[in-house]
Amino acid sequence: MSTSLKMTWDLVSYAFCVHKISLHLPRKYETCRLYVLFQDLIRYGKTKQNLKRDDWLRALDVPKRWFWHFYAVSVVWNGLLLAFYLISIFQHQSYPLWLTGVLDFLTGVPSTDSQVPQLSTLLVQLLLCVHSLRRLMECLFVSVFSDGAIHVVQYVFGLCYYIVLGLTVLCADRRGKGTGTLLSQLDWFHVAGNALFIGASLMQHQSIVMLARLRTGKTGRVETLAHRVPEGGWFELVSCPHYLAELLIYVSLSLVFGCLFLSWWLVVLYVLFSQALAAQLCHELYISKYESYPRHRKAFIPFVL
């Protein structure tokens, strides 16, 4: 499990570095096929709109408004895994054979009956479901999407991502060291992790609402699908506070794990690189498109990056 996550992280950090290098390439390379393919794979939505692409690449586009599919899959899958975990705790039933087989394969550790239910696992599963459900509701009822696109590879990756995420949590459970009842395992890092999760979720929700209001009037009716300069709230400090909030949400889940689960830190590193890359591309677009764009604003981390 940690090998596949490390590979994903390596790929994203590699993409981040190559993008940085590509910024300094002469303009003639912008028509090079490999360059276009690379940009097509790392960009999506508004940062992809000005990319000059062949028709065969456009044929691989999927509407960005399908983002809700990721969260729908996550709610169903992670809800199912949570149900299996609750049944194993309260009815002392083992997981279905296929799930036990998958976890044995991923962890390399065979399951034992002596495993004590872990409070960290239960909390992370719950928070993952809450996060996915909120994002699903935001995609369906808050965000106003334009005709932006994502690559079909990004789409398939997004679907698999939330499946792997749920399995990663159950892999952590196999290595959990908590003893005693669920309540007796309660520690300061569970409280701190939950507090950070709530704060980061509020920050993300506020930013998503502010982006939606750039396109709706006071009545809530959609007036435009144009991209405008976001203002107010955390947007005064960074171009993409919702990406920063996403990173904080994953850090908060690592805290709930007591900061001890290495595979989850690899997930956090993946989110750091993927969201930093997306924020950087969005920031560059705003700066090149809007002359009056506030120069003091950073892309991703206030006052730093």
Binding-site ranges for ligand NAP (CB under 6 A): 45-46, 64, 67, 143-146, 148, 204, 211, 214-215, 227-228, 230, 242-243, 246, 271, 274-275, 278
Angle of helix 33-42 relative to helix 2-22, nearest 10 degrees, comes to 120
Among 113, 135, 123, 144, residue whose Cα is nearest residue 210: 144
Instruction: Select 118 or 125, whichever has its Cβ closest to ligand NAP.
Output: 125
Taking the complex as a whole, the smallest distance from the CB of residue 100 to ligand NAP amounts, in Å, to 28
Instruction: Select 263 or 274, whichever has its Cβ closest to ligand NAP.
Output: 274
Q: State the Cα–Cα distance between residues 189 and 183, nearest whole angstrom.
A: 14
DSSP designation for 81: H
Paired strand residues for 238: 298
First-to-last CA distance in the chain? 31
Taking the complex as a whole, the smallest distance from the CB of residue 56 to ligand NAP amounts, in Å, to 23
For 238, phi then psi, to 5°, come to -135, 155
Instruction: Select 13 or 143, whichever has its Cβ closest to ligand NAP.
Output: 143
Q: State the Cα–Cα distance between residues 14 and 129, nearest whole angstrom.
A: 30
> What Rg value do the Cα atoms of the chain yield, rounded?
21
Strands (E), the chain: 61-63, 149-151
Taking the complex as a whole, the smallest distance from the CB of residue 155 to ligand NAP amounts, in Å, to 11
99 residue type, one letter: L
Taking the complex as a whole, the smallest distance from the CB of residue 182 to ligand NAP amounts, in Å, to 28
Taking the complex as a whole, the smallest distance from the CB of residue 23 to ligand NAP amounts, in Å, to 20
Residue at token pair 């044995």: 104
Paired strand residues for 151: 61
Q: State the Cα–Cα distance between residues 3 and 1, nearest whole angstrom.
A: 5
Taking the complex as a whole, the smallest distance from the CB of residue 243 to ligand NAP amounts, in Å, to 5
Taking the complex as a whole, the smallest distance from the CB of residue 232 to ligand NAP amounts, in Å, to 13
191 residue type, one letter: V
Residue nearest to ligand NAP (CB): 246
